Structure 1
């Protein structure tokens, strides 16, 4: 059997353009080339819509939505430059990871029109306009505001469903990120009110022929499996959903991290490793 190539449908965050990443974007591209990736999606975070929705570290650093907007413009310019410079060595997608919070229904289309990325990764990092992936403390506060951990999961998957239906992102990012600070997530996912939402969302992804990001970043945070969890991954396979690896790299140290083991795993589980490429957005 042919050895599957390494690709990343979600990654390339750099210290140049992301406050919680390191290294330059060009250095990161050069490492993807050295690791023989035939293509990579560079999916920098969309700028924040308001000061209230900045991350704690962004607030502490004195960053503003205006600064982030201008930095994202510089990101797109640099990513397009590198796309051309290294076109003989690797296919680079200049893409964007979106957020889903109050106002995103208008803000994301505005960003698409302004910056014209190759595709978008549809992610959810906020529930009820409260972040949940920054720290255990933040997660616990968001659980309390949601009325408990099961309601939080339900709201997360409802928000994800609405986002997919509205925006049809080429890639659905780290599908079950909501499990991040929940040590009991493997049983939690099986609860009927949560599982019915998971199945509903997967059916929509299948109908729209989208890609699911097999996100390896959880493994750098001591998880024993990537996002997507095994029970969800099995459902995706049964629905013939394209699952494509994403290293969600945030610097040189995480470019292609854990890729060999988990690409082999996907192949052994029967997924198509002639990796589906993201659909380019037409403007």
Structure 2
């Protein structure tokens, strides 16, 4: 299980910490066999920059991403005999322009990038940056969680069908600032919502995407992305799972893997995890009785 398909660092992400090389070194120290470096793609309009980026321009974001790619490829070469590093990106989908720009970016980048397909905005407003911004997004949708969730899952479907990402990032991130887990689950089960959930799962399965079990959720006080009931539905519809720590720096590498992930996997009934290698080949690792897995859990974090 020592794999991760989604990570960041403070070197190339303002809300992260530490250097990218420190993230890699910590993954090696913990015994990861494969680790993906997946920085956010640049946003393409000045109004979409976050408060923490107030001193930056759109051009700065692109330069930062290009610098990330150079460093990630360097680390991939330097540590090739110690760990399988995967170089990729995490999507942004704010307007249709972002998808067109993403197409251009990935088409012009060689070797090809691992693409983690994530939605962080609804109606142009961030939904995972702060409670205040989430509240603004909710207000824009009439104060209705049903309306907000519907817009999120509709945007996610656009992303899945247009981009066909290798990995679906935090499938139900929209619940991050829901008033309670009960509200999140009730909204998911709304008569107009659950069909959207199943529709998106089927679309991702058809696209060949892996569904990320995102261990950062527990740091946010959320019992896993995807919600356990969503994960069981993914499994029942033929979805394949991968695992990510969504680290934002070296201190986050492997976060919650030992504490929460084994119980989550057992509850969902996951027996095999899949991952993309540095050459973008799909491989798998058994959840139980694999020596790599056993060594990882026997070691100290």
Q: TM-score normalized by structure 2?
A: 0.87
- Confirm whether residue 104 of structure 1 aligns to residue 98 of structure 2: yes
In structure 2, the residue matched to 1:18 is 13
> Structure 2 CA distance, aligned partners of 1:274 and 1:158?
27
In structure 2, the residue matched to 1:207 is 206
Unaligned runs of 5+ in 1: none
In structure 2, the residue matched to 1:69 is 62
Measured against aligned partners, the alpha-carbon deviations of 1:181-215 in whole angstroms (never above 9, x if no partner) come to 00221222111111110010011112222101111
Unaligned runs of 5+ in 2: 282-301
Measured against aligned partners, the alpha-carbon deviations of 1:126-147 in whole angstroms (never above 9, x if no partner) come to 1111111111111011111122
Contact persistence 2:92–2:120 (CA under 8 A)? yes
Larger CA deviation: 112-121 vs 73-82? 112-121
In structure 1, the residue matched to 2:162 is 166
Q: TM-score normalized by structure 1?
A: 0.92
User: 3-state DSSP class of the match of 2:27?
Assistant: helix
> Structure 2 CA distance, aligned partners of 1:52 and 1:255?
32
Q: How does 1:152-163 map to 2 (within 5 A)?
A: 152-163=148-159
> Structure 1 CA distance, aligned partners of 2:14 and 2:5?
21
In structure 1, the residue matched to 2:125 is 130
Distance 1:274 1:150, change over 3 A: closer
Q: How does 1:133-282 map to 2 (within 5 A)?
A: 133-147=128-142, 148-182=144-178, 183=180, 184-223=183-222, 225-268=223-266, 269-277=268-276, 280=280
Larger CA deviation: 33-42 vs 213-222? 213-222
Please, what is the CA RMSD of the aligned residues? 1.6
> Structure 2 CA distance, aligned partners of 1:254 and 1:140?
27
User: 3-state DSSP class of the match of 1:120?
Assistant: strand
> Structure 2 CA distance, aligned partners of 1:131 and 1:199?
24
Contact persistence 1:242–1:276 (CA under 8 A)? no
Contact persistence 1:217–1:247 (CA under 8 A)? yes
1:79 aligned to which of 59, 72, 78: 72
1:114 aligned to which of 108, 115, 127: 108
User: 3-state DSSP class of the match of 1:143?
Assistant: helix
How many residues are matched? 273
Q: CA deviation at 1:266?
A: 4.9
